[in-house]
Chains A and B, each alone.
Chain A
């Protein structure tokens, strides 16, 4: 399988911010003053139009907000023939499909809990057996979940073989990504700890497949998490790690920058690309607009969740590559496969402001141009 178009390797230089590649490569050019050299006049100093144009451009449309915009499918029920059809659809979905799905899910939970709880309590001594049974049971409940949305999932590519020192990365659209992947093969995942019933599930059931928790808001958290990741990936008997390097849910049309944490572990990276078919439902979980419960209910009252999952060729860090370049290369591979547009932003900018380094770079280039032209005669 081709490894994408080879990616444009971003040259590392001493100037680069160590945390992320050069954003200026992505942003529209013509913004800084690329004027031909000439003496600096008053009109050059007073003419702030390039900077203002950039600002206005960002106000009118920006690539970051676009990543998190839910794009509901176009309404098609707008005339007198289609509207009744749509109404029938609503009736079927809410009054027939939804109750059936709830029943399926409830049955699944009953079976799961009646097997899981005894296994968990009684097989305390027999670690290996307990682990295998719990993993199988988690795969089972995930299959029930998928059935409850009438999930039609096309898996492409060879199923990953369980080897040590192997980490899986995928693009992230919703928490159901994990459920869809877990259904096929058991993964350990790293997740943000959530409140409510999801948190309860996380601390009880997901513990059995081996999960690592992090907290976005804690600054020191990153070091602890990196350590835990490293320990887990070295362990022979652990489930392979599944990491979503974007760090946040994106709307399945764009991909934001990958965090380098997963790429510094010294393991083989197996990329997975996930693409949902929007005709059936928009699977993007817009955590700012919906709770996870509402999101699940929305999925359960849609026709189906149709998606494609591609297991892509495992990649290794090349000798001349930094982890950031490696992360960008893998992001490129996944984005090409899943038809996602790449944007140069860190997903965490949803929760915090950009670093002052970007502004400083602009200021520096402007200052240099002013001074250069000042010396012209």
Chain B
């Protein structure tokens, strides 16, 4: 009949809620479970990269590949924990932790210059070096040829350099003051 919450017991819901530190209400967890089952078309208990990419809105996102590395193979409990950073009940600390994890692709707790460069490349595609040449002609500014120099300049102005290893506390210092808006609404029937 399609009433999938019957497959999720009250005990399961509470366990998931605990695992995500109460980031979502029980109703939201039920909705997320329906969504998870909808995405997990072959019923394997986890949503594969292909299944995520079949959502066009996700596939066109510049950071989709990075997120897929974090999402691949997660079961439902871990899926909810992944999304918990986007709950309105999540703290700014938790959101910054999530952003840190996106940058720190090897998971060693340190973000290096290349990590930040990779993300900048994902976000700008091929559009930075070409644009730069145009700006040069008009404004006669110093020549930046690519993301590396943009990133280096901005890092140095913030008091870091190319060799700096950023850790979680650095991220908190850098991002903590800007109003971080990172929330999604889970549709509840």
Contacts and interface: CB of A to CB of B under 8 A. Distances in A.
Interface of A: 27, 40-65, 69-70, 72, 75, 288, 345, 349, 353-354, 358-360, 362-364, 366-368, 370-371, 374-375
Contacts of A366: 62, 123-124, 127
Contacts of B1: 72, 75
B55 A367 contact: no
Contacts of A57: 57, 184
Nearest to B180: A49
How large, as a class, is the contact surface on chain B?
35 or more
Interface in B86-126: 86, 95, 98-99, 102-103, 116, 119-120, 123-126
25 contacts: A27-B57, A45-B154, A46-B103, A47-B178, A48-B102, A48-B119, A51-B123, A52-B86, A53-B181, A53-B184, A58-B58, A59-B83, A60-B83, A60-B86, A64-B56, A69-B38, A72-B1, A75-B3, A353-B59, A360-B125, A362-B60, A363-B124, A366-B127, A367-B123, A371-B150
Interface string B2-34: 110000000000000000000000000000100
A375 B38 contact: no
Nearest to A359: B60
A68 to B, nearest CB: 10
B67 A55 contact: yes
The B contact surface, by secondary structure, is helix
A324 B156 CA distance: 49
The majority secondary structure among interface residues of chain A is helix
Give the residue among A51, A57, A72 with the most B Cβ atoms within 10 A: A51
Contacts of B154: 40-42, 45, 374
Given A54-B57, A61-B186, 18 more contacts: A41-B157, A42-B160, A52-B98, A55-B64, A58-B57, A59-B52, A60-B184, A61-B35, A64-B55, A70-B2, A354-B59, A359-B125, A363-B123, A363-B125, A367-B127, A367-B128, A367-B131, A374-B150
B175 A43 contact: yes
B165 interface: no
B184 A65 contact: no
B157 A45 contact: no
Contacts of B184: 53, 56-57, 60
Contacts of B182: 49, 52-53, 56
Contacts of B56: 62, 64, 345, 349, 353-354
A375 B178 contact: no
A367 B58 CA distance: 20
A345 B124 CA distance: 24
Given A62-B55, A367-B124, A48 B63 contact: yes
Contacts of B32: 60
B75 interface: no
B141 interface: yes
